[in-house]
Structure 1
Amino acid sequence: MRRSTTRAGTARLLAIVATLATIASTASAVPASAAAGTAVVGVASGRCLDVVGGSRESGTAVNIFDCHGQANQSWNLTSTGEIRVYDDTLCLDVVGADTTSPADVQVYTCNGGANQRWSLNANGTIVGAQSGLCLDVKGQSTANSALVGMWTCNGQDNQKWRTSGGSVDTQAPTVPGNARVGNLACDSVTFSWNASTDNVGVAFYDVYHDGQLMKSVSGTTLSTSLDVVAGVTWGLFVNARDAAGNVSQASTTVPITPPQCQADTQPPTAPSQLVGSASGTTVTLSWAASTDNIGVRAYDVFRGDTKVGTVTGTATVPPATSFIDSGLAANTRYQYSVAARDGQANTSGRSNTASVTTGAGCSNPVCGVTQVGTDTDIPWGLVTLPDSTVLYSRRDAQDIVHLNPATGAKTTVGTVPNVSGTDGEGGLMGLAISPSFASDHWLYVMHTSPNDNRIVRMKLENDRLDTGSEQILLSGILRNKFHDGGRLRFGPDGKLYASTGDAQNGDNAQNKSGLNGKVLRLNPDGGVPSDNPFGNYVWSYGHRNPQGLAFDSQGRLWEQEFGNSVMDETNLITKGGNYGWPACEGTTNGTGSCGTAGFIAPKRTYSTADGSCSGITVVRDVLYVACERGTRLYREPISGESLPEAQVYFNGTYGRLRTVEPAPDGGLWLTTSTTGDKDSTPNNSNEKLLHVALGG
């Protein structure tokens, strides 16, 4: 059960339809004699995808037939992933929206249904977005009039297609220029840009805010109206995409903060009936909700006069009225109060004060938090060395720091060569040390270069990076402003695992020949392990932007993944598994494709408002999940193959949390990512590195 078609336009033809330069995102009246599409040819047969008998009736079957250039063999793609024929009046359609194998196909009046949306992998397979099945010539026939249907994807040539010219387009469009906004209102904005160029032609522009796809428009559209949220700051950007699925690098980011739709100067009422109770060194608070003329959006929790947490809601969902304060001192009396805020930062008075005394010792899962370091850049990857000190990467400053948590002493061990930011989430990311680091001193690094994402290794000798020893183990992982993945983790099998994003092109995730939208598995020297499922680096696929990787005591790999706008997810990774993006997001997309056979369901999902989680680790078979937008740490005991409960800690206490790693004493290292995490500007952050002591 995977990720959804909320990411509009993700079902699109890839390399084999490179000549679809005339595709538009909406139907246009073109005479049949001048049909602007292209023939789609079966690799096994050399015959064309053909509407039987040249019929224009809905419900007509589709077969293969000698290529003759008539309108019933001329196919176009829309920005929503439809494959249209006959002047764009009929769509390639799975009969009855059948998701089982085998199923029949036909042409039918275009209706926007998921059974009329398609994607095509770089290996030539055309895949139904709803079913995950492949367009297939029945019985592996190569004869004229052999019918076409849907069948479980098997990689055979009767499931592979090319254009009549057989050309392959691998050149991405240029970056859209001069991104700009106008007509900014409380609920809308006009976003515009200059045209990209392409060797064949720009088919679509994909518009994002902060890595989330908002809409796709045709390649002739250079301005569009967007729905926005009053008072919420977004960063808008756009990518160009050609008909072959090649995606440009992103435009510059344009920040916007829409004005409020109506002035509001009335604060909420003060929270009331605040009470608290202690269990060991953890305090649980609850209170009665405040009221407001428009709506309460958050509660700020104070311990004495220090704000120690924030409970947030949305415009439609009020914030919760409880909070857990963890890691406190034993036998200590604390005083708490709570204040409410609305969407325009009007703040209520404080609630009544609740006094709570902690217990004699820690009997709780979280027993204490100690700040061990600070940084002006974003700590991204973090590893513990054999002497219990740590190394961490600074994403935008592009260097690596050696930290002694016991003393707070820091030393910069060197700058990683050839690192490039993306004006988004790329840069210097994941770290891992060799399982035999004590003797071989290999440090593994994943980073963005000017042209790609890559995995390298180099020696750490005498507390300095030996950049002359650098070896590039894997390059050619596509990069973009967002969706770069970046986590590294050695498994108990001695192999190196890496998470890669889809580079803002969902179809990359389903291309098993590509490196993006995957969990990859490498030998320590960069070779392909002989037991990988597809004969390449791919271990699992169908991922959007995975970052967290962690192994449990049974050697099973867990993965944390960013959703688009609906759900984030935690997955249990299996060899060769398909986790479904872009056909499904989390467990729902409104079209039923999350139940598609072969798609592996997540073990836990989170709303993006409560999630946007980057790092995970496992300690004593409990999964810990560090979340950015959710500003919290989840604690999730592993039970069999499930995560039946999720406890929330540090909700707003430390802001956005990015990386969590096991500490040598059985606790956790935890880092923040509060500011500057959506640009590539070095040293514009104010971050913390924390040690979390764990109890029973």
Structure 2
Amino acid sequence: MRWNSTRIPATLVAVAALVLTLAAPAPAAVPTAAVPMAVVAGPATITGVGSGRCLEVNGGAQTSGTRVSIQDCHGGPSQAWTLTTAGELQVYNTTTCLDVAGQDVTAPAVVQIYRCHGGANQKWTLQTNGTIVGVQSGLCLDVTGRGTANGTAVAMWTCNGQTNQSWTTTLRTADTTPPTVPANPRVSNLTCNTVTFAWDASTDAVGVRFYDIYHDGQLMTSVSGSTLSTSLPVVGGAVWGLYVNARDAAGNVSQASTTVTITVPQCQTDTQPPSAPGRPTAAVSGTTVTLSWAASTDNVGVRTYEVRRGGTVVGTVTGTASAPPATTFVDSGLAANTAYSYTVVARDAAGNASAASAATSVTTGAACGTAVCGVRQVTTETDIPWGLDTLPDGSVLYTRRDAHQVVRLDPATGTKTVVGTPPNVQGTDGEGGLLGLALSPTFATDQWVYLMHTSATDNRIVRIKLVDNALVNSSLQVLVTGIPRNKYHNGGRLRFGPDGKLYAATGDAQNGDYAQNTSNLAGKVLRLNPDGSVPSDNPFGNYVWSYGHRNPQGIAFDSQGRLWEQEFGNSVMDETNLIVRGGNYGWPACEGTVGTCGTAGYVAPKRTYPTAEGSCSGIAIVRDALYVACARGARLYRAEISGSSLTNLQTFFSGTYGRLRTVEPAPGGGLWLTTTNAGDKDSIANNSNERILRVQLGG
């Protein structure tokens, strides 16, 4: 549920005020001597964005237990804060620290000054989005009740992105250099449910505060900067790529380590196959067949059903360790007036296959009566097809992500021609490289091709002319630079809007802090003029159009000129959003509808999908139907746009073609659809086995 009212109800404000007037709880036992730490920056003031007033020790007192509040800025000793290498905020001297009373980790926690002792309740992270976060609690330094008056108390509250939790200070900008890349990642003690992951320490001008551990772009856990190994939970039978990033107190994040691939063993030897599924029943609607069958049984559990048409696997229905797979499948885009025979095979987590079910034969109708009427394979690819657009003559221009090439495809013959390799493209040993592609709306006269790609230092948007079937590298213009990059979370989709502006989706570069910082180009939807200048009506005076995104990879416009966006979640859910000018979509505090999503000002998604059924990348809109291409979910979703809602959600091609990356409108009201089944988690060229498909849609 998302609230549209003020963040703190009046009763909670009263409670907070009461707490702040009570005697501070005694802190836990701490060392009796202060621990001097090296200074990063300061002394400097810390100013509240919402109030314009400075963080001050009440009355200029120097006694432990004195509260802090906001007051008119005067630059005196009670407002002069120093940041240390340990992340302490010291005032007056090296023995007095900003402190969360009693090491409280619940909101509203009292903030005071206290003798420095090195405890986690005296350590702070100055995020680049303006927040100051307590390391022990994860709560934000907050002006209570969103007050702006002199003397308003400061406490700890759940981070919510509002201006009473945003602070400006030169302490933060003193450190803009990220740590070095963690070296020598390695694993040991791999079992069916745990693995030990270790790495060598990063270095940093100030000091590493955290290490963030991922598998395949999904954050698993974060550990302290003094920790160089940790035990991680794993899933039997999974193949994961583990890596680690380093993060310092200012929120700077390193580039990712190299990837360590693990294949997790099963927890028990299982050689017993499932029982055969029941004979499928079939319902025919035009050229679409809907199958259903009785479930198989297994000594451990059925994990997947393979649907076979004429003996060839045409689809899979997959479950999880806790949820069995569904027992239905829709086979679309078949030939009219044609007989087909279907069987179903069950597999367990160990890969044991059942006997095939009894066969069912059906004959399709005379005409397509559903949304998807036919599929034709146009070509295959040995690299990842990523960005794609249709040229005025009906041919296709697309990018090869890891090979860094642009290819022209004749869909009638399947003939492919490499038209060029743009300069300065570099992979990331993950999901970077040559990404989005969009043709100028006036391509017939100006011949501009717009590209988004990863370089050695950043992600950037460029344009280059296509003349006589070749890219002219001398015409290259770099339009936008400085979009943060990392192994994963680079975003990358480009789309021209009906307003003639170019829109770009950017990932958070594996730093959720970037997503909430409207001065940073990561974790955003950007909007720019075709020449790369900033439109005068952009909400923040820069390229940022919306923010609070994790890793958006799909953007498309409907018939009303509204922008829809598709976004990868971390581990719970993906989301489809309707983008509004200046909108905050909540990441990292909110993933889909999980987290502090009720915070006032966050824009709720229009639809969410479990990551196991989603991990969706590209979207396209044809006749106000939204099509969503999903990788891990290995399916194409279709939803109808009704007002500002998405209704009548349907699923097509579940497992038929595997992981799907890009979907784009095709001439005549159809779709281009590309796969991403191999080599999509590295930057190695030509190690894939992909298809480009032409989908015929119904009326």
Asked if Structure 1 and Structure 2 have the same fold, meaning a TM-score greater than 0.5 normalized by the shorter chain, the answer is: yes
Residue 373 (structure 1) aligns with: 379
| 2:528 paired residue number | 522
Q: Label 1:30 to 1:539 Cα distance change in 2 as closer, same or farther (>3 A).
A: farther
The structural deviation recorded for 1:645 is 2.8
* Distance change in 2, residues 1:108/1:90 (3 Å): farther
Q: What's the offset of the Cα at 1:403?
A: 0.2
Does 2:663 match 1:650?
no
Residue 90 of structure 1 corresponds to: 103
* Aligned pairs (5 A) from 1:157-556: 160-162=167-169, 168-556=174-562
Distance in 2 of aligned mates of 1:153 and 1:579? 11
Which secondary structure state, in structure 2, belongs to the residue aligned with residue 489 of structure 1? strand
Alpha-carbon offset, residue 147 of structure 1: 2.8
C-alpha contact 1:623 1:635 (8 A) present in aligned 2: yes
The 5-angstrom pairing of residues 608-687 of structure 1 reads 608-687=611-690
In the superposition, relative to structure 1, how do residues 426 and 288 fare at CA in structure 2: closer, same or farther (>3 Å)?
same
> CA 1:302–1:73 in 2, change beyond 3 Å: closer, same or farther?
closer
Local SS of the residue matching 2:594: coil
Shift of 1:497: 0.1
- Shift in alpha-carbon separation, 1:107–1:629, aligned structure 2, 3 A: farther
Using the aligned pairs only, state the percent identity. Answer: 63
Q: Secondary structure at the match of 1:241?
A: strand
SS in 2 for 1:439: helix
CA distance in structure 2 between the aligned counterparts of 1:294 and 1:153, rounded to whole angstroms: 46
Shift of 1:363: 1.3
Gaps of 5+ in 1: 3-26, 79-83, 97-104, 110-115
Could you tell me how far apart the structure 2 residues matched to 1:281 and 1:345 are?
32
Distance (Å, rounded) in 1 between the aligned partners of 2:241 and 2:36: 40
State the shift of 1:135 in Å: 3.8
Q: Output the CA distance in 2 between the equivalents of 1:616 and 1:652.
A: 18
Looking at structure 1, the residues matched to 161 and 331 of structure 2 have their Cα atoms a distance apart, in angstroms, of: 51
Cα separation, partners in 2 of 1:477 and 1:649, compared to 1, 3 Å: same
Cα 1:447–1:384 shift into 2, 3 Å: same
**1:146-166 Cα shifts (integer Å, max 9, x gaps):** 53368997869x953436x67
Offset, 1:41: 3.4
Distance of 1:388 and 1:628 partners within structure 2: 27
The residue identity in structure 2 corresponding to 1:95 is P
**CA shift at 1:240, angstroms?**
0.6
Task: Give the structure 2 partner of residue 20 of structure 1.
Answer: none
The root-mean-square deviation of aligned C-alpha atoms, in Å, is 3.2
Q: Is the 2:576–2:608 Cα contact (8 Å) retained in structure 1?
A: yes
C-alpha displacement of 1:108: 13
**Deviates most, 502-511 or 217-226:** 217-226
The answer to whether the Cα contact below 8 Å between 2:545 and 2:581 also exists between their aligned partners in 1 is yes
| TM-score normalised by structure 1 residue count | 0.86
CA contact (8 A) 1:290 1:296 kept: yes
Task: Give how far 1:555 is off.
Answer: 0.2
**Paired residues of 1:230 and 1:258 also in contact (CA < 8 A):** yes
Q: How far has the Cα of 1:127 moved from its partner? A: 7.8
Give the match's secondary structure for 2:574. Answer: strand
Partner of 2:91: none
Contact 1:453 1:478 survives alignment (8 Å): yes
* Cα drift, residue 685 of structure 1: 0.3
- The answer as to whether partners of 1:389 and 1:404 remain within 8 angstroms in 2 is yes
For 1:422-450, what per-residue CA distance to the aligned partner results, in whole angstroms no more than 9, with x for missing partners?
A: 00000000000101000000000000001
Write the distance in 2 (CA, Å) between the matches of 1:584 and 1:259. 33
- Change in Cα spacing, 1:153 to 1:185, as seen in structure 2 (3 Å) is closer
Closer, same or farther in 2 for the Cα pair 1:50/1:333, shift >3 Å?
Answer: farther
CA contact (8 A) 2:492 2:506 kept: yes
Higher relative contact order (CA 8 A, sep 6+): 1
Structure 2 counterpart of 1:486, which letter? G
Q: Distance in 2 between matches of 1:214 and 1:320?
A: 28
SS of the counterpart of 2:613? coil
Q: Distance in 2 between matches of 1:295 and 1:499?
A: 40
- 1:575 paired residue among 570, 573, 581: 581
Distance 1:361 1:55, change over 3 A: farther
Q: What TM-score, normalized to structure 2? A: 0.86
CA distance in 2 between counterparts of 1:358 and 1:161 reads: 66
Determine helix, strand or coil for the equivalent of 2:678: coil
Rounded to whole Å, the distance in 1 between the matches of 2:554 and 2:173 is: 38
> In 2 relative to 1, CA 37–52 (structure 1 residues): closer, same or farther, beyond 3 Å?
farther
User: Is the 1:40–1:161 Cα contact (8 Å) retained in structure 2?
Assistant: no
**How many pairs are equivalent?**
645
Counterpart of 1:444, as a letter, is Y
Once residues 654 and 191 of structure 1 are traced to their aligned partners in structure 2, the CA distance between those partners, rounded to angstroms, is 34
Counterpart residue type for residue 642 of structure 2: S
Q: Quick check: 1:126–1:135 contact (8 Å CA) kept in 2?
A: no
Could you say which residue in structure 1 is the equivalent of 2:21? none
Any idea what SS the aligned residue of 2:424 has? coil
CA distance in structure 2 between the partners assigned to 1:68 and 1:201 by the alignment: 27
**How far 1:273 sits from its partner (Å)?**
3.5
CA distance in 2, matches of 1:118, 1:648: 46
Q: Tell me what 1:42 maps to.
A: 46
Q: Distance in 2 between matches of 1:166 and 1:599?
A: 25
What code does the residue aligned with 2:584 have?
Answer: N
Following the alignment from structure 2 to structure 1, what is the Cα–Cα distance between the partners of residues 58 and 246? Answer: 31
Q: Measure how far apart 1:416 and its partner are.
A: 1.2
Determine if contact 1:49/1:73 at 8 Å carries over to the other structure. no
Evaluate the alpha carbon distance shift between residue 683 and residue 306 of structure 1 in structure 2; reply closer, same or farther with a 3 A threshold. Answer: same
Change (3 A) 1:233 1:125: closer
Measured after TM superposition, the shift of residue 47 of structure 1 is: 4.9
